Amino acid sequence: MVSDNYLLHIMNISIFNKFGALNSVPVFAAFAAGCKKNGVRITEHNSAADVAVIWSQLWTGRMAPNRAVWQEFTASGRPVIVLEVGQLMRGVTWKMGINGVNARAVWGEGTESDRVNKLAMRLQPWHQGDHILIAMQRSDSEQWAGLPAAEQWLEHTVNRIREHTCLLYTSDAADE
pLDDT one digit per residue (tens) for the chain, 176 residues: 444 554 555 689 999 999 999 889 999 999 999 999 988 889 999 999 999 999 988 888 899 999 999 999 999 999 999 998 877 777 777 888 899 887 777 776 656 667 677 777 777 777 777 778 787 777 777 777 777 888 888 888 888 888 887 655 554 544 44
Distances (CA, A) of 138 to 57, 60, 74, 145, 151: 10, 10, 22, 10, 11
**Residue 1 confidence (pLDDT):** 41
**Residue 4 confidence (pLDDT):** 54
**Residue 48 confidence (pLDDT):** 95
- Cα four-point dihedral sign 122, 126, 130, 136: positive
Residue 116, H or E segment: helix 115-118
End-to-end CA distance of the chain: 75
**Residue 174 confidence (pLDDT):** 47
- Cα four-point dihedral sign 155, 160, 161, 167: positive
What are the chain's domains?
4-109 (3.40.50), 124-176 (no CATH)
